[in-house]
Structure 1
Amino acid sequence: MARRVWSCLFSISTAVLYGSLSLFVSILHNVFLLYYVDTFVSVYKIDKVSFWVGETVFLIWNSLNDPLFGWISDRSFLGSQQAGVQISNPQVVLKRLQALSRTGPLFALSFLAFWVSWARPGLQFLVCLCLYDGFLTVVDLNHNALLADLAVSASERTRLNFHCSLFSALGSLSVFMSYSFWDKENFFSFRVFCVALAAFSILGFSVACWLLRQRFRGRARQDEEEDSVLKELCVGQAPLAQEKVLTLRQYLKQLSKHTNFLWFASMNLVQHLLSDRISASTGSFLLGFSYIAPHLNNLYFLSLCGRYGVYTVVRWLFFLKLILSVIMLLAGPDQIYLLCIFIASNRVFTEGTCKLLNLVISDLVDEDLVMNRRQQAASALLFGMVALVTKPGQTFAPLIGTWLLCVYTGHDIFQRDPLQEVVRTQEMWNPAWFSTLRQGCFYLLVFIPITCAFLQLLAWSQFSLHGKRLQSIKLQRQSALQELPIDVKDI
């Protein structure tokens, strides 16, 4: 029986194992996104100053840790030639899998730190956010980098991304499950639920990474044996081409000349500023559906990418978001059902686009390798540099959301004054005040997507890594992978 189980595990394809890592992240991260603010505001009673200080520090950390961890991860690859060592692709994959096998379980443990009060609310909020995001960043960077390292062709990367979306959709079911356990007055059952999720995530990371490492360890050993044979046959023992270790300043200078990267980062900043903003008021089912629908919809988007290309599909999504927002604006705030559909579709298309953009970043990794003639792609580092520019939008979202809520409704979620609550309740029964509030929130709801869609279309029109140029980049990288690292004599 045990042999049969191990045989089934080893027969699982690389794409399925790679995609399953998304499941072990999403089952935790979706619950985190849904409950962490409510937990600290409603359960731990964090004060307003501590919340804003924590979010501000988190904004800085959230932006800087991606390029920091990316540089730490890929620096050895960029300077590998100076030591005369040729790092093969299986060795790169093994290094990323080793990082995932260590930080994946630590990420799950940091998730648990939110749901037990162990310090003053302000201090715990700051420490938990930074610790959680640090481990999440390492996991995301290495997982996303594997997308560029495991495959070069667009079809293979689309297949890998397809499995990520499928498993992410399964992981989003934890949001629906959480409704049965969430209770602000009795937090014990929710804590037990979170412990069960974390245990499942730890086990999943350990098993999936171990299976993948076993698979690529054999390939790495084979490459090492071939390299040793080639060195023995090398004429005159000619050393590898010497290349200086690339400094961070030199890398940033190279990146500043990467035009497609700059346009993509500008577009993606707007994308992250829009996401996760406006779904909490639509009811528990619509909220839960908004977490799972982007991944299911992305399965269809990926099939379109295989047919028309990622660039074209993303452009269609921007146009669709703009058209739907204009239609909602013309329909007005009285169309309740249309408004609910619009809110859900806005999140679906926004999150769906974010998932597709990993394919674009993988293409940017290829272009960066070809443009700068690197021996090994700096996959994690480039993903980290994209996040440096775009992640502030994610952190600004709750800050802007709470500020706009206070401006348009006069309702401060941190307000503890009972007298102010009585006055606010009396104002809500005023029809004129309620009409003004409703109209203001509606315009906020539709004008933000319209503005973002317009800016994204403007930036996306300048992005040139598609069509013939993308095909040329792919061919150059594939040919580089097939070249031998040293010269051998004819026998």
Structure 2
Amino acid sequence: MREEKVTGARSQGPFALVRHLTARIGAHPPAVAYAMTTVGASMMNSIFSFYYVKLFLNKYKISEGAFHQSQVVYMIWNALNDPLFGYMQDNSRMPCCSRRRLSILYGAPFYALAFLLAWFPWRAYQSGDWLSGLHLMVTLCAFDGMLTFVMLAQCALFAEISSQHQNRLRLIQYSQVASLVGSSSVLFCGLISHNMEDFGAFQAFCVLVAMLACGCMLYTGLNSESRFDSKTHPDGSSSSSPSSQPQLSLASVVSMTLQILINRDFQLFVLMNFFQVFMVAFCSNFTMIFAEHLIPPDVLPSLAKSLMYGAAFICPQILVLSSQRLLQRYGYYRLILLTFYVEAGGAAIMLLLGRHHYYLLAFFLTANMVLVQAAFSLFNLPLADIIDSDLQRYKRSTPLSSMVFGTNALFTKPAQSLSPMLVVYILNQYGYESLKDAAQATDPSVLQPLYGAMFYLVCLVPLSVSALQVLAWQPFSIRNSHTIDSKYIDG
């Protein structure tokens, strides 16, 4: 009965205009439906990752101890919820968990509400207030929990809509256009709120973003389908129907997880991806802080910095879109490896030039974030190939898409917490915590060690991490999936 109601909403709901426009412009309806979740998630994730560290450190004045405690709890929850939700979505008998689009449909409103938690303080915080620490802990866990539930379903859709490389490239292309639209929220947020100086305008804009993002994800939930949803048994039931799936024992779950873990390509990807997640968090959380302290306002005023921050979120999608021919010709393996070499080379050059070349430093901060985000946008391709390989190797009836994505996240998501914890600890060793309370009264000469530490972080972190990624990524063996039209027949 609930499924019939959802089907009726799809045919008569408020999204009929979007479907009509999609048909008029000749767009691919399944790709549009898939990409709408990317629009909504990009709008919220970009703002959240870019502003939450600065908000809690500078405005809510959270103590270093409370910040680290929140990050540790977040790190544990962040790692555990991905395989937990992955198991639920691959094996649950409840349609809201087992059907990809229904997970997005029902999870979207809670995802949007969790996004709003950070921007509204629970009271007027004093410096070191314990409640600000609890606020951060609840915010991180709630936001990541709903992000995981919705985005795991979308990641599974990526692998299950089609097995053909060209179709997956089309999903990447549509997703990058969607991400380009969604990531522009950082640019508009910075312009409207003057980089969060007008906090009331910032809050109002976040409420608007939450509403728009929720609507976009609801469109996916009402209009997207996995190719496994359409497979039926002789009795007419769906092969992915909860009632048709046998309940897996704990031993079966452990066995399947071990089968995923012993895949050497999966191991190499996870190791490389751990460092990439670390870099994404490093760039998203601290680019704004580094730019404000290392680049004087008379060199780059607030408006120019807002445009710089916006470009750092918008240009990755433009770069990926412009690389479609290269992806088709050379494949994702070579392009990802190339970004690591470029990141390392750029960091080495910037380190040699020094921090007083302000325009070059601004360009490096932006370009490094663009490369990191652009490479990260391609990571669904190797994971989808790993899922295909697992499906064929073990002759499964349906792929373990959510479990593969969830197991990957189990090992890589802790980097999202380790990155800000490590950087905040290093900065506080050079007086950053005291700077928050007395920025105007601090002698500029006293700040030189802090600025030096910031600059070395800006250069040495990407240089070291990209070198480690090259070593981890080079042995990856699935390099030529772009040359194979179809690894197996789509159902």
Structure 2 length as normaliser, TM-score?
A: 0.81
Equivalent residue in structure 1 for 2:102, among 86, 90, 98: 98
Equivalent residue in structure 2 for 1:263, among 261, 265, 268: 268
Q: Distance in 1 between matches of 2:434 and 2:63?
A: 10
| Equivalent residue, structure 1, for 2:458 | 445
Change (3 A) 1:40 1:228: same
1:228 aligns with 2:249: no
| Equivalent residue, structure 2, for 1:86 | none
Deviation of 1:45 (Å): 3.5
1:412 aligns with 2:423: no
1:367-446 to structure 2, matched below 5 A, reads 367-407=389-429, 409-412=430-433, 416=437, 422=441, 425-426=442-443, 428-429=444-445, 434=448, 436-446=449-459
1:454 aligns with 2:463: no
Equivalent residue in structure 2 for 1:358, among 380, 397, 406: 380
Deviation of 1:185 (Å): 7.1
What SS does the corresponding residue of 1:167 show, helix, strand or coil? Answer: helix
| Equivalent residue, structure 2, for 1:122 | 133
Q: Distance in 1 between matches of 2:260 and 2:220?
A: 34
| Equivalent residue, structure 1, for 2:295 | none
Q: Distance in 1 between matches of 2:450 and 2:118?
A: 34
Q: Decide which moves more: 363-372 or 196-205.
A: 196-205
| Equivalent residue, structure 2, for 1:59 | 75
1:139 aligns with 2:147: no
Change (3 A) 1:6 1:462: closer
What SS does the corresponding residue of 2:118 show, helix, strand or coil? Answer: coil
Question: Does the 8 A contact of 2:431 with 2:450 survive in 1?
Answer: no
1:319 maps to amino acid? Y
Identity %: 29
Deviation of 1:108 (Å): 0.5
Q: Distance in 2 between matches of 1:39 and 1:439?
A: 23
Deviation of 1:284 (Å): 2.7
Deviation of 1:378 (Å): 0.6
Q: CA RMSD in A?
A: 3.3
Structure with greater Cα Rg: 1
Question: Does the 8 A contact of 1:107 with 1:136 survive in 2?
Answer: yes
Equivalent residue in structure 2 for 1:272, among 256, 272, 277: 277
Change (3 A) 1:341 1:66: same
Q: Distance in 2 between matches of 1:264 and 1:15?
A: 26
Equivalent residue in structure 2 for 1:288, among 307, 310, 324: 310
Q: Distance in 2 between matches of 1:115 and 1:104?
A: 19
Q: Decide which moves more: 372-381 or 278-287.
A: 278-287
Change (3 A) 1:326 1:22: same
| Equivalent residue, structure 2, for 1:235 | none
Q: Distance in 1 between matches of 2:315 and 2:86?
A: 30
1:47 aligns with 2:63: yes
Question: Does the 8 A contact of 2:191 with 2:306 survive in 1?
Answer: no
Q: Distance in 2 between matches of 1:24 and 1:191?
A: 17
| Equivalent residue, structure 2, for 1:345 | 367
Question: Does the 8 A contact of 2:91 with 2:98 survive in 1?
Answer: no
| Equivalent residue, structure 2, for 1:162 | 173
2:72 maps to amino acid? T
Question: Does the 8 A contact of 1:15 with 1:160 survive in 2?
Answer: yes
Question: Does the 8 A contact of 1:302 with 1:356 survive in 2?
Answer: no
Equivalent residue in structure 2 for 1:250, among 255, 260, 267: 255
Q: In the TM superposition, what whole-angstrom CA distance separates every residue of 1:219-253 from its partner, at most 9, and x where no partner exists?
A: 957x43x73389xxxxxxxxx9x997562321232
Question: Does the 8 A contact of 2:166 with 2:485 survive in 1?
Answer: no
1:68 aligns with 2:80: no
Change (3 A) 1:54 1:200: same
Question: Does the 8 A contact of 2:427 with 2:453 survive in 1?
Answer: no
Change (3 A) 1:112 1:258: same
| Equivalent residue, structure 1, for 2:10 | none
Q: In the TM superposition, what whole-angstrom CA distance separates every residue of 1:336-372 from its partner, at most 9, and x where no partner exists?
A: 3222222211111111111111111111111111222
Change (3 A) 1:341 1:247: same
Question: Does the 8 A contact of 2:15 with 2:219 survive in 1?
Answer: no
Q: In the TM superposition, what whole-angstrom CA distance separates every residue of 1:41-74 from its partner, at most 9, and x where no partner exists?
A: 3443333332221111011111111111111111
Question: Does the 8 A contact of 1:166 with 1:295 survive in 2?
Answer: yes
Structure 1 length as normaliser, TM-score?
A: 0.81
What SS does the corresponding residue of 1:45 show, helix, strand or coil? Answer: coil
| Equivalent residue, structure 1, for 2:346 | 324
Segments of structure 2 that go 5 or more residues without pairing to the other structure are 1-13, 124-130, 238-243, 292-304
Q: Distance in 2 between matches of 1:333 and 1:414?
A: 20
Q: Distance in 2 between matches of 1:190 and 1:335?
A: 32
Change (3 A) 1:182 1:254: same
> How many residues are matched?
443
Deviation of 1:258 (Å): 0.5
Deviation of 1:464 (Å): 0.7
Question: Does the 8 A contact of 1:63 with 1:389 survive in 2?
Answer: yes
| Equivalent residue, structure 2, for 1:112 | 116
Q: Distance in 2 between matches of 1:286 and 1:386?
A: 32
